[in-house]
Structure 1
Amino acid sequence: MKASLYLVLATLFWSGNFVVGQAAVASMTPLDLTFWRWTLAAVPLLVLAHLAEKPDWRAVLRRWPVLLLLSVLGMSGYTLLLYGALGHTSAVNASLITAANPALIVVMAIFLLGEKTTRLGWTGICLGLLGVLLVLSRGEFERVFSLSINTGELLMIGSIVLWGCYTIIARRLEMPAIAATAVQVAMATVTLAPFALAMHVRFPETAVEGWSLAYIAVFPSLGAYLLWNLALKSTAPGTAGNYLNLIVVFTAVITVATGTPLTAVQIVGGVLVVAGVLLTGMKGQARLGVARSVKVA
Structure 2
Amino acid sequence: MAVLDRKRSHPRTRPRSPGVRNAGGRGAGLALAALATVVWSGSFVTARGLHESVPPVQHAFWRWIVALVALAPFGARAAWRGRALLRQHIRFVALAAFLGVAVYNTLVNQAGLTTSAGNMGMIMAASPVVMAVYERLGGARLGARRVAGTLLACTGVVLLVGKGSLTPGLSPGDLWVVAGAVCFGSYSALLRRRPRELQGAAFLFATFVLGAAMLAPAYAASVAVQGGFEVRPGTVGPLLYVGVFSSAIAFFAWNKAIALVGAARAGVVYYLQPVCVALLSYGVLGESMGWTRLVCMALILGGVVLASTTGRR
Q: TM-score, normalised by structure 2?
A: 0.74
Q: Which runs of 5+ in 1 are unaligned?
A: 285-297
**Alpha carbons 1:46, 1:183 under 8 Å: kept:** no
Task: Show the counterpart of 2:25.
Answer: none
The residue matched to 1:66 in structure 2 has which SS?
Answer: helix
The 3 A distance-change label for structure 1 pair 227 and 115 is closer
Residues 132-211 of structure 1: pairs in structure 2 closer than 5 A: 132-142=157-167, 144=168, 148-174=169-195, 175-200=198-223, 202-211=228-237
Task: Give the distance between the partners of 2:180 and 2:71, measured in 1 at CA.
Answer: 23
Letter in 2 for 1:214: L
Task: Show the counterpart of 1:83.
Answer: 109
C-alpha displacement of 1:139 = 2.0
Task: Give the distance between the partners of 1:76 and 1:218, measured in 2 at CA.
Answer: 17
The 3 A distance-change label for structure 1 pair 109 and 7 is closer
Task: Give the distance between the partners of 1:204 and 1:245, measured in 2 at CA.
Answer: 35
Task: Show the counterpart of 1:268.
Answer: 295
Task: Show the counterpart of 2:242.
Answer: 216
Pair 1:15-2:41 in alignment: yes
Task: Give the distance between the partners of 1:138 and 1:226, measured in 2 at CA.
Answer: 34
The 3 A distance-change label for structure 1 pair 228 and 79 is closer
C-alpha displacement of 1:203 = 4.7
Task: Show the counterpart of 1:289.
Answer: none
Pair 1:105-2:131 in alignment: yes
Task: Give the distance between the partners of 1:90 and 1:115, measured in 2 at CA.
Answer: 35
Task: Give the distance between the partners of 1:10 and 1:141, measured in 2 at CA.
Answer: 29
The 3 A distance-change label for structure 1 pair 78 and 214 is same
C-alpha displacement of 1:39 = 2.0
Task: Show the counterpart of 1:288.
Answer: none
The 3 A distance-change label for structure 1 pair 8 and 68 is closer
Give the aligned CA root-mean-square deviation in angstroms: 3.3
Task: Show the counterpart of 2:91.
Answer: 65
Pair 1:122-2:147 in alignment: yes
| 1:182-226 deviation per Cα after TM superposition (whole angstroms, max 9, x unaligned) | 111110111111121122262543431122212221221223345
The 3 A distance-change label for structure 1 pair 119 and 161 is same
Q: TM-score, normalised by structure 1?
A: 0.78
Task: Show the counterpart of 1:237.
Answer: 261
Task: Give the distance between the partners of 1:245 and 1:224, measured in 2 at CA.
Answer: 16
Q: Which runs of 5+ in 2 are unaligned?
A: 1-27
Task: Give the distance between the partners of 1:226 and 1:156, measured in 2 at CA.
Answer: 22
Length, aligned pairs only: 276
**Alpha carbons 1:96, 1:270 under 8 Å: kept:** no
C-alpha displacement of 1:102 = 2.7
Task: Give the distance between the partners of 1:75 and 1:63, measured in 2 at CA.
Answer: 17
The 3 A distance-change label for structure 1 pair 222 and 124 is same
Task: Show the counterpart of 2:14.
Answer: none
